[in-house]
Amino acid sequence: MTDFDAIIVGGGLVGASLAVGLAWRGQRVAVIEAVERSADHQPSYDDRTLVINAASLNILDNLGLLPEDLTRKPIRHIHISRAGGLGHLELNAADYEQDQFGAVIVARELGNVLLEAMANRPGIQSFCPARLQGFKVESDRVEITLEDGHSLSAALLVGADGNHSRVRELAGLACQKHDYRQSAMIFNVQPQHAPAHTAWERFTTQGPLALLPQSEGRLGVVWIEQSERIEHALNWSDQALCERLKTRFGGSLGDFSNPGRRSHYPLVCQRTPWPVADRLVVIGNAANAVHPVSAQGFNLGLRDVGGLIDALEETADPGDPDVLNDYARARQADQESTVRYTDTLARAFTNPSLVASLASGLGLAAHAGIPGLSRRLVRSAMGFREPVCTLARQPRVST
């Protein structure tokens, strides 16, 4: 039986980031991934346009995962509006003494960086393709069995295996779930004209619509609507897609053209109130999955990574129950607040009632008109809700 300090089930963006972080600190890490190790196949290494907030950029940079040749587009201006309703909010990074709120990175390109980092980082051993069959917890170890018959053991088992987490299920961790019955359609498009370094979020009665800066003046589009309507939209002609995008977003950016490949995924909300058990913790979407409104999902997962690395920093036993409970308590407020905030936005801005429309519009107007509200919104959106993990506090300090 092969022995490790930690076994991570799930080699997506969050699981891989944790593996690199733990190995960087001298831990011996096993990564169990069910999908063939390739950025063209790994589900989370797809064409999604990731909004990486300022805290997450610090985390990635401190882990050596932001090489100079990784394409990223800074976000310095954010326009938030509601179609046919009251409320409009414009945010400029310079007004908050910031160079940028964050940056846009394509998931596939970050995935390639992570694959290279895991391959080159001493201390990481990948088992791929491989699936978890089961595990048992001993006094000082967790012993896991893979479907191919391999057995591994470690002081700590980490579930980073997504919404349908096998680790969470086998551990019996309670998880609150809500199906929005919506899907997100992802593609990129060429606008007729668009200000540089600007992101737009427009709330409509069908669902939120986000336009995010990409290379060569293109925009990444996150189009959210009822799942059955998204299924139809996937079959629209390119011309029809561009025309309907303009109708839904408005004409401020002119016409849209040359849309890229479309993909889609269903949207759910999941909350695991207490994400730890005996020598076990679940992180990222395995613990909390959020609506993509406000672009907090991957950022929340990276803050889990940073928080867990902090928690394990001073212990010789990564699975120590006291250490894991301290981690859960430290992360609880951020996880709960982020899930609640994104869920409230997702429900309020798509509610067709007059009262809800007025309330959500007034909320935008209040954030626009009251500096303290917008400043608090910005700091939370940038990932700096206390307690802020060590990796997020400052730019890269070592290479």
> What domains sit in the chain, N to C, each tagged with a CATH number?
2-70+103-177+268-355+373-393 (3.50.50.60)
How many CB atoms neighbour CB 23 within 10 A? 22
How confident is the model over 355-367, as a mean pLDDT? 43
How confident is the model over 24-39, as a mean pLDDT? 86
Q: Are 165 and 159 in contact (CB under 8 A)?
A: yes
Is the pLDDT reported for residue 16 higher than 80?
yes
Q: State pLDDT tens for residues 70-111.
A: 999 999 999 988 876 656 788 899 998 899 999 999 999 999
How confident is the model over 186-211, as a mean pLDDT? 92
How confident is the model over 124-132, as a mean pLDDT? 95
Q: State pLDDT tens for residues 226-236.
A: 999 999 999 99
Is the pLDDT reported for residue 369 higher than 50?
no
Written as six digits, the tokens of 67 are: 């090489």
Residue with tokens 């190995």: 23
Is the pLDDT reported for residue 361 higher than 70?
no
Closest to 19 measured CA to CA, from 308, 287, 277: 308
Does this model's pTM top 0.85? My answer is yes
How confident is the model over 126-136, as a mean pLDDT? 96
Q: State pLDDT tens for residues 253-282.
A: 999 999 999 999 999 999 999 999 999 999
Q: What pLDDT is stored for residue 71 in this prediction?
A: 93
DSSP secondary structure code for residue 295 in this structure: S
Q: What pLDDT is stored for residue 379 in this prediction?
A: 83
Is the pLDDT reported for residue 146 higher than 70?
yes
Please state, rounded to an integer, the average pLDDT across all residues of the chain.
89
Q: Are 352 and 204 in contact (CB under 8 A)?
A: no
Is the pLDDT reported for residue 373 higher than 60?
no
How far CA 58 is from CA of 64, 151, 201, 310, in Å, comes to: 10, 36, 24, 15
Is the pLDDT reported for residue 286 higher than 70?
yes
Q: What pLDDT is stored for residue 359 in this prediction?
A: 42
How far CA 283 is from CA of 86, 122, 156, 218, in Å, comes to: 37, 23, 13, 33
Say which amino acid occupies 182.
Answer: Q
How many CB atoms neighbour CB 322 within 10 A? 10
Cβ contacts of 332-335, under 8 Å, gap ≥ 24: 332/273, 333/385, 334/300, 334/303, 334/385, 335/271, 335/275, 335/287, 335/288, 335/300, 335/304
How far CA 42 is from CA of 38, 297, 345, in Å, comes to: 6, 18, 30
